[in-house]
């Protein structure tokens, strides 16, 4: 092998300098590195594919992605969840182009090969020409392993991967359970999603969900549209009460409003003035005062963001999912969450709050998208300069699973990049 | 109902003038003038997908008077990095069809093609735009405007302007 075929990213220490928390510019710019990330990260670890409420019934399915691979997530007749690559084993056509729905089987439109809900090959038209030894059991759709926790469905191509809950770790699992309290006593349900594509490397997004430092700057114009009490809730940078913590395996949490870590602990508080009107509406529907409180607290949502390596995060009141498309293109989904069976007015309020910040027309997301793109544009210059993720190293202290720093520390980014490095070090 | 071709033609000319005026205002980002084109109770919606129960579904935007004013204020104050500066836009509105006339209320639909330019990159968006207009002493006012983008339920980009 000649030297010029050696990838320039062979030196992982130069790509991410752990000690000084510096990231090399190629990390956002090198297509060969991107290809290797797809193999060593997205083909190897647990990747979020769907929330259970998106395909609730037997036979319901949803299209998703694991890295670059389009997949179908589906429940079979017994309710068991399967995930398989959306590709016919014959001549590769996709077997499904409906984003979400219900079916009893998948049939390839090209030559009619039919697959069961578990991806097994059931029917081949005119099979005689394949001979007697054609083995259908060897021609099922390419399956991924799937596991779920708190309604979050993950899939992996790696059949040797550790169990999902071990990958998440105890602290992530604990926070996921706390996050789901915004069901307000009802199951959490995905009630819609905003989708927008951003010309950026996927890691620019990976860095963002536990980055409090950008909030008062990028989202100043959103803050200006809040009432005083709500604005105070978002003034976490000035209050210095929160923290960011490395939760292991690249995951991290940003606790912005520690008083809202566990919504149940707020049950004795008076109803927030901004939601008094809502409490009154819910009371009219005959809910008990305790339920009214629980529902109103849920509408307000919990007080933290949590980022899971490599593609999903929990952000106050919604899920944010990233799908890498190419080295400089990433698709983003912001899933709105509601209460399955909860009062209509409460879910309407959640929808309007989501629209206020999120999505292509929100008061927040377009500004996020703009700065993410600006990072991608900026890294086209100064190739030898490093990206700094060292903020807050000065006063980090040990947390439960890893270091814990100031609410605006870049501890979460360091956690993600250390995991990135660990995965990229593996043999392919 | 209107029943003579003459009145249809006259009304079509009137509403066309109005929606062209609105399109021009939006391209020029003269947002205070845009706010004046609305009834206070008017609702401005960019839905996603085919659903029409806008109140109970997630939209790109669902603005009453208060949210419209906050949105414009956000554009105008200069603190929003995505709208300072915003993308430039040029749009055309055509294929205007009057669906219904009931007293002083007119329902119409239009096709809108918009090209945005930012960072030297141009993007094209197409939308079916539905208006409910009310004829007042002060001319037409918008009671409802629903801009349905093609692929509204799919992958979009963020917008720093209005449709």
Query: Distance, in angstroms, between A190 CA and closest chain B CA?
Result: 10
* pLDDT reported for residue A2: 42
**Residue A75 domain-assigned?**
yes
Chain B residue numbers touching A221 (CB-CB < 8 A): 74, 77, 79-80, 83
Q: Does B2 have pLDDT greater than 60? A: no
Say yes or no: domain B5-149 is CATH 3.30.70.100.
no
Query: CA of A336 to nearest chain B CA: how many angstroms apart?
Result: 8
What pLDDT is recorded for position A9?
Answer: 55
A250, A313, A362, B5 from A369: Cα distances, Å: 23, 16, 11, 49
**How is residue A166 written in tokens?**
């071990």
Token pair, residue A364, equals 């927040």
Instruction: Identify whether the C-beta of residue B142 lies closer than 8 Å to the C-beta of residue B49.
Output: no
Q: What percent of chain A has pLDDT over 70?
A: 97
Confidence of residue A6 (pLDDT cuts 50, 70, 90): very low
Domain ranges of chain B: 5-149
- A188 shares a domain with A55: no
Among B55, B119, B155, select the one facing A196 at the smallest CB separation. B155
CB contact under 8 A, B58 and A355: yes
In a domain, A15, yes or no: no
Contact A212, A408 (CB under 8 A): yes
B77-91 pLDDT tens trace: 999 999 989 999 999
Same domain? For A175 and A270 the reply is yes
B27 vs A221: which has the higher pLDDT: B27
State yes or no: pLDDT of A193 exceeds 50: yes
From A134, A156, A178, the end of a domain falls on A156
Read off the pLDDT of each residue in A207-236 and give the average, rounded to a whole number.
88
User: Is A29 within a domain?
Assistant: no
- Count how many domains chain A has: 2
Scan for tokens 């609305």, then name that residue: B38
Closest partner residue to B81 among A193, A195, A367, by Cβ? A367
**A344-357 helix and A289-300 helix, angle to the nearest 10 degrees:** 20
| Residues A119 and A255 occupy one common structural domain | no
Please write the tens of the pLDDT for every residue from A321-345: 999 999 999 999 999 999 999 999 9
Say if strands B38-46 and B139-149 run parallel, antiparallel, or are unpaired: parallel
Query: pLDDT averaged over chain A?
Result: 95
User: How far is the C-alpha of A338 from the C-alpha of A51, rounded, in Å?
Assistant: 12
- pLDDT (0 to 100) of residue B87: 96
Domain assignment present for residue A215? The answer is yes
B2 Cα to chain A: minimum distance (Å): 37
CATH of residue A236's domain is: 3.90.380.10
A232 and A259 both lie in a single domain: yes
- Please state the three-class secondary structure of chain B as a single string: CCCCHHHHHHHHHHHHHHHHHHHHHHHHCCHHHHHCCEEEEEEEEECCCCCCCHHHCCCCEEECHHHHHHHHHHHHHCCCHHHCCCCEEEEEEEEEEEEEEECCEEEEEEEEEEEEEECCEEEEEEEEEEEEEEEECCEEEEEEEEEEECCCCCCECCCCCCC
Distance CA B62, CA B51 (A): 14
* Between residues A1 and A104, the one the model is more confident about: A104
Put simply, the answer to whether B58 touches A193 (Cβ < 8 Å) is yes
Kindly state whether residues A180 and A238 are assigned to the same domain.
yes
**CB nearest to A361's CB, from B55, B57, B61:** B61
Same domain, A272 and A332: yes
Of A156, A176, A206, which residue sits at a domain end? A156
**Closest to A349 in 3D by CA, of A223, A235, A221, A191:** A191
A103 and A172 co-located in one domain: no
Q: Give tens-digit pLDDT for A137-159.
A: 999 999 999 999 999 999 999 99
Percent over 90 (pLDDT), chain A: 91
Interface residues of A toward B, Cβ cutoff 8 Å, are 99, 191-198, 218, 220-222, 224-225, 331, 336, 344, 347-348, 351-352, 354-356, 359-361, 363, 365-367, 369-371, 373, 377
Q: Is there a single domain that holds both residue A310 and residue A393?
A: yes
Model pLDDT for residues B131-152, shown as the tens digit of each residue: 999 999 999 999 999 999 999 9
- Please give the pLDDT value at position B6: 60
Mean pLDDT score of chain B: 95
**Domain final residue pick, A156, A183, A203:** A156
**One domain for residues A186 and A60:** no
Sheet with strand A60-66: strands edge to edge:
A47-51, A152-156, A143-149, A81-85, A69-75, A60-66, A100-102
* Together in a domain, A285 and A329: yes
Non-local CB neighbours of A395 within 8 Å, separated by 6+ positions: A405, A406
pLDDT in tens, A374-426: 999 999 999 999 999 999 999 999 999 999 999 999 999 999 999 999 999 98
Q: Does residue A124 have a pLDDT over 90?
A: yes
Q: Are the Cβ atoms of A355 and B81 closer than 8 angstroms?
A: no
Q: Render pLDDT for A243-267 as a digit per residue (tens, 0 to 9).
A: 999 999 999 999 999 999 999 999 9
Q: Cβ contacts (< 8 Å) between A218 and chain B: which residues?
A: 81
Q: Is residue A267 part of a domain?
A: yes
CA distance A321 to A195: 9
DSSP string covering A218-287:
HTHHHHTTS-HHHHHHT-HHHH---EEEEEETTEEEEES-GGGSSGGGGTTSPPPGGGHHHHHHHHHTT-
Other Cβ atoms within 10 Å of A127 Cβ, number: 11
Task: Output phi, psi for A79, to 5 deg.
Answer: 90, 0
For residue A77, give the H/E element and its range: none
Yes or no, beta carbons of B48 and A363 under 8 Å apart: no
Q: What pLDDT score was predicted for residue B5?
A: 56
Decide if A8 is inside a domain: no
b/e code B74-88 from CB counts within 10 Å (16+ = b): bbeeebbbbbbebbe
pLDDT tens figures, A9-28? 568 999 999 999 999 999 99
pLDDT tier for residue B156 given thresholds of 50, 70 and 90: very high
Q: Are B37 and B143 in contact (CB under 8 A)?
A: no
Instruction: Please state whether beta strands B61-63 and B88-102 pair in parallel, antiparallel, or not at all (unpaired).
Output: unpaired
pLDDT at A5: 46
What pLDDT, on the 0 to 100 scale, is given for residue A3? 46
Nearest to A355 among B62, B73, B159 (CB): B62
A301 and A417 belong to one structural domain = yes
pLDDT of residue B22 exceeding 70: yes
Question: A69 forms bridges with which residues in the sheet?
Answer: A66
At A84, is the pLDDT very low, low, confident or very high (cuts 50, 70, 90)? very high
Query: Which among A51, A58, A362 has a CA at the least distance from the CA of A190?
Result: A51
Query: For the segment A270-292, what is each residue's pLDDT rounded down to a tens digit?
Result: 999 999 999 999 999 999 999 99
The confidence score (pLDDT) of residue A1 equals 39
b/e per residue, B113-147, with b = 16+ CB within 10 A?
ebebebeeeeeebebebbbbbbbeeeebbbbbbbb
Among A70, A221, A277, A333, most B C-beta atoms within 10 A, so best to mutate, is A221
**DSSP code, position A35:** H
Instruction: Report whether pLDDT(A99) > 90.
Output: yes
pLDDT value at A8 more than 80: no
**Burial state string for A193-219 with b = 16 or more CB within 10 A and e = fewer than 16:** bbbbbbbbbbbbbbbbbbbbbebeebb
Q: Distance from CA of residue B109 to its chain's centroid? A: 11
Same domain, A146 and A175: no
pLDDT at A428 over 70: no
Return d(Cα A334, Cα A322) in angstroms, integer: 9
| Residue A272 forms part of a structural domain | yes
Task: Please provide the size of chain A in residues.
Answer: 428
Query: Cβ(A86)–Cβ(A71) under 8 Å?
Result: yes
Judge contact between A161 and A145, C-beta under 8 A: yes
Residue-number span of the structural domain to which A335 is assigned: 165-424
Helix/strand/coil for A110: coil
Q: How far apart are CA B10 and CA A177, in angstroms?
A: 62
| pLDDT tens digits for range A348-358 | 999 999 999 99
Q: Which residues of B touch A352 (CB under 8 A)?
A: 62
Q: Distance from B142 to chain A by nearest Cα, in Å?
A: 20
């Amino acid at each position: 092998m000649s030297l010029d075929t050696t990838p320039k990213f062979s030196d992982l220490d130069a790509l991410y300098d752990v000690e000084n928390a510096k990231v090399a510019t190629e990390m956002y710019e090198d297509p060969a590195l991107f290809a290797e990330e797809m193999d060593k990260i997205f083909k190897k670890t647990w990747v979020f594919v769907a929330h259970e409420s998106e395909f609730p019934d037997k036979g319901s399915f949803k299209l998703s992605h694991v890295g670059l691979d389009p997949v179908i997530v589906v429940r079979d007749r017994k309710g068991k969840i399967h995930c398989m690559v959306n590709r016919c084993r014959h001549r590769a056509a996709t077997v499904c182009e409906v984003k979400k729905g219900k079916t009893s089987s998948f049939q390839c439109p090209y030559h009619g090969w039919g697959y069961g809900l578990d991806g097994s090959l059931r029917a081949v038209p005119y099979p005689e020409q394949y001979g007697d030894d054609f083995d259908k059991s060897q021609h099922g759709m390419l399956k991924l392993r799937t596991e779920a926790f708190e309604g979050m469905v993950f899939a992996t191509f790696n059949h040797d991967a550790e169990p999902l809950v071990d990958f998440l770790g105890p602290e992530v699992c604990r926070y996921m359970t706390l996050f789901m309290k915004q069901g307000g006593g009802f199951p959490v349900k995905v009630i819609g999603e905003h989708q927008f594509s951003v010309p950026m490397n996927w890691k620019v997004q990976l860095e963002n969900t536990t980055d409090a430092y950008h909030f008062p700057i990028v989202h100043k114009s959103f803050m200006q549209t809040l009432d005083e009490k709500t604005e105070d809730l978002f003034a976490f940078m000035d209050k210095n009460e929160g923290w960011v913590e490395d939760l292991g395996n690249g995951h991290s949490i940003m606790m912005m409003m520690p008083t809202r870590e566990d919504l149940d602990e707020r049950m004795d508080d008076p109803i927030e003035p901004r939601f008094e009107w809502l409490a009154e509406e819910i009371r009219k529907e005959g809910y008990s005062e305790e339920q009214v409180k629980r529902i109103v607290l849920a509408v307000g949502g919990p007080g933290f963001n949590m980022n899971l390596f490599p593609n999903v995060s929990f952000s106050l009141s919604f899920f944010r999912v990233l799908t890498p498309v190419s080295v400089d293109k990433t698709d983003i989904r912001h899933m709105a969450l509601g209460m399955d069976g909860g009062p209509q007015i409460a879910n309407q309020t959640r929808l309007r709050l989501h629209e206020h910040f999120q999505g292509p027309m929100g008061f927040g997301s377009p500004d996020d998208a703009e700065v993410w793109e600006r990072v991608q544009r900026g890294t086209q210059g100064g190739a030898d300069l490093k990206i700094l993720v060292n903020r807050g190293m000065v006063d980090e202290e040990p947390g439960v699973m890893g270091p814990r720093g100031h609410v605006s520390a870049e501890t979460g980014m360091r956690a993600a990049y250390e995991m990135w490095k660990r995965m990229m070090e593996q043999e392919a | 109902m209107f029943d003579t071709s003459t009145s249809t033609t006259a009304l079509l000319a009137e509403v066309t003038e109005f929606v062209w005026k609105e399109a021009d205002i939006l391209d020029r980002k003269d947002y205070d003038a845009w706010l004046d084109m609305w009834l206070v109770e008017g609702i401005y919606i960019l839905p996603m997908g085919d659903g029409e129960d806008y109140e109970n579904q997630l939209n790109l935007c669902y603005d009453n008077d208060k949210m419209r004013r906050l949105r414009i204020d956000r554009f105008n104050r200069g603190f929003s990095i995505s709208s300072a500066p915003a993308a430039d836009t040029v749009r055309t509105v055509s294929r205007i069809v009057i669906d219904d006339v009931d007293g002083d209320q007119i329902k119409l639909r239009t096709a809108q093609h918009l090209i945005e330019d930012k960072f030297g990159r141009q993007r094209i968006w197409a939308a079916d735009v539905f208006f409910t207009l009310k004829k007042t002493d002060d001319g037409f006012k918008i009671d409802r405007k629903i801009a349905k983008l093609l692929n509204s339920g799919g992958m979009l980009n963020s917008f720093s302007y209005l449709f």
